[in-house]
Chains A and B, each alone.
Chain A
Amino acid sequence: MNSSPKKVVIAMSGGVDSSLAARLLVEQGYDVTGITMKLWGYLDTGGRPTHDSNCCSLDDINNAKAECALLGIPHYTLDMSAEFKQIVMDNFVSEYKAGRTPNPCIVCNTEIKWHGLLNKLDDLGVDFLATGHYARRVKHERSGNWVIGRGEDRKKDQSYVLWGIRSEDLDRTLFPLGDLSKQEVRKLAAAADMRTADTPESMEICFVPDNDYRRFLNQQYPEVVESSPKGDFVNSKGEVIGQHQGVFNYTVGQRKGLGLATGERVFINKIDVENNVIHIGDKKETEAHSFIVNSCNWLVPESLILDRPLKVQIRYNHDAKPAVINRISDEEIKVVFENPESAITPGQSAVFFEGDQVIGGGIIKSV
């Protein structure tokens, strides 16, 4: 860098990934500032207040602060809890209420971590936003646009949860960990004697630290639970085979915890909120060839994607499968898989890959 170094803000959770990312950026010569977003407090969530594998506790904020102090860079805490409640938590609740299965991390990434934070950072004259995600920012050959490449460590790859980043936001994004494996990250952190080197993995939804979203809804949104009455489980022949406890308790593809004694392996294949009925079937009956997606985000011009063979990933732990996508209205596109897929779940994200590159995505609306 010949002129003055580029200014980068690293979003820090207090865990090992973002802490090491901060260190790498400093080593690469950037002018780095650490930011921890305060997104929620235990008053808003309930759960395990002593559990420490999630951000937003004082310990985590102090960890991030301490790592920055060691690196000799400033650290600030931004209170974004009002935005988080309004945009992420309320959406999480209304999605379950509507019989869908939301992915709040994606909403948070898109609207809070990227769009919200970058808006704030404009006031600070910052060039780039960096995070500790396992993903890469790569050039898409046909369009010349920046797109998201899968992380080197395929087991930790997080490109799926980043599809919503607006193209103009991605232009200002850095992923310092994209070429590293988790093992290498821990090794580098330990070698640098970082206090976060052994922080535990965060697996669950951050504001549902006990991983029990039904407990969260019951405690924090009792009015939603009360307005979601019990109803019928119905099989493919239209017969009532049991009682469900309110649609928000269930997810398409779910097998366990249905309380049905049918003698065979049955799955939820559709949640019909309008009639308060949950449809049950065998594995074959949960499969579908195609589905409808809305709320799309494109990282390359749509014309380069539609009607061409791609791969589509329909949940975090799913291998992207061959499909084509085409537009059916201003708001909606249709995804058609080469072979049927099971448990295509409304509310989850469908992410479009060209090779190993995320070129767009959307929310599954219906099957």
Chain B
Amino acid sequence: MKQANSIYLDHAAGTFLLPIVQDYIASQVYKKTGNPSSIHGVGRLASASLDKSRQEVASSIGCMSGEIIFTSGGTEANNLALGGIAKGLKKQGRHIITCRTEHPSVLESCKQLESEGFSVTYLNTNSFGRIDLNELRASITDDTILISLMWVNNETGLIHPVKDIADLARIRNVKFHCDAAQVLGHLPIQIKNLGVDAMTFSSHKIGAPSGLGVLYLRKGTVLSRQLHGGAQEGNLRAGTQNLIGATAFAKAIRYQVDHIQEHHGHYRTLMDQLQNQLSNIPGIQINRDTGEYSPHIVNCSFQNIDGEALFIRLDMKNISVSNGAACSSGSQKPSHVLTAMGLDEKLSQASLRISLGLETSEDEIDKFCHELEYIVHSLQRGNP
């Protein structure tokens, strides 16, 4: 179905495998690998290999290898952080603070905790998705045990002031979990300088295969295990590890961190070009203020057009972008992030998230913008 002239601008949803990851996986296909928990020689080899990957992840992001928990993905890491920390600390309090624009894996975990007797404050944002630190400060009570706020928003690219939030949390003796699924490869990261207690990473956002996640958990943080079974991952996450996946993920993290300067320049240049060209399309609204954004995501909306038609017309031209959060049936629901920012239903449905990758070229941005302008123009005419 995919043609050679397709343009893929949905890297915030999923990336293609990095060449070094492709090579690594290819090299593993015919190898004989055992279970890292087995105590025989084959198992010990697997275990050593897993430890090496854990060490690689830890040194790449600036923490200790004992602080890395491998999971089945970002969603599981978020579930583990929210459920695990809240339940681990329930004797100290039962109040959690998050924000309306978080990823569903955080919001749904909070809903679940509410049904189990916890209370949750969902911070509002301004019309660009920014939270007010004073409001956050004012929301903290003696009962508050956990704050969960993302670093880079997956739909708008907006950056939350993670360091400030971490400082605030530490002063009030509240744990801080941060979903950083969109961060690696886009922002420099040294966890020990940030002061967060837990942080989520996801494999398929950075050129590794999907199905791997990492939860960084600061040493000494209480966590109640959420999967029951074996004593893997420091007895915090049961289940045999995905050894090839974890190693591929570790290699991708190392690669992204080592090349951050060079990649940042690539993204910055393309994003400037993209924003510049987008701003020439009549009726467009770019959902950004002058504050900080990750250089790989931009979100924009179009007045007076049918969002479903826009999306389908782009797809018919083999252009892959995202229209916010698609529901499981594939039909378009207005994005909860844009709705929280105050966009009405029609405008949030006529919105696109465009996200860049390492393979994206200036030529693709140019073609995309021309095609988009043509389609938007024809839909606006057909829909006065």
Residues of chain A touching chain B, judged by Cβ–Cβ distance below 8 Å, are 33, 38, 58, 61, 65, 72-79, 120, 122-125
Contact = CB atoms under 8 A, between A and B. Distances in A.
Interface of B: 1, 306, 308-309, 312-313, 315-316, 328-333, 378-379, 382-383
Contacts of A123: 306, 309, 313, 378-379, 382-383
B313 A79 contact: no
7 contacts: A33-B316, A58-B328, A76-B308, A76-B315, A76-B330, A123-B383, A124-B316
A75 B378 CA distance: 22
Residue among B306, B328, B329 with the highest chain A CB neighbour number at 10 A: B329
Contacts of B331: 38, 61, 77-79
A59 B256 CA distance: 39
A74 B316 contact: yes
Nearest to B318: A74
Nearest to B345: A82
Contacts of A79: 308, 331-333
A124 B314 CA distance: 10
A330 to B, nearest CB: 31
A348 B28 CA distance: 67
Given A72-B1, A74-B1, A120 B308 contact: yes
Nearest to B333: A79
Interface of A is mostly: mixed
**4 closest residue pairs by CB, A with B:** A123-B309, A77-B331, A79-B331, A77-B330
B306 A120 contact: yes
B345 to A, nearest CB: 10
Nearest to A37: B331
A163 B333 CA distance: 33
Contacts of A74: 1, 315-316
A61 B330 CA distance: 8
A199 B67 CA distance: 51
Nearest to B332: A79
B246 to A, nearest CB: 31
A65 B330 CA distance: 9
Contact of A38 (B1, B306, B316, B329): B329
Contacts of B333: 79
A61 B326 CA distance: 14
A264 B96 CA distance: 70
Contacts of A124: 309, 312-313, 316
B307 to A, nearest CB: 10
Contacts of A76: 308, 312, 315, 330
Contacts of B313: 123-125
A124 B315 CA distance: 11
B7 to A, nearest CB: 16
A38 to B, nearest CB: 5
A72 B312 CA distance: 16
B316 A77 contact: no
A58 B316 CA distance: 24
Contacts of A77: 329-331
Contacts of A120: 306, 308-309
Contacts of A73: 1
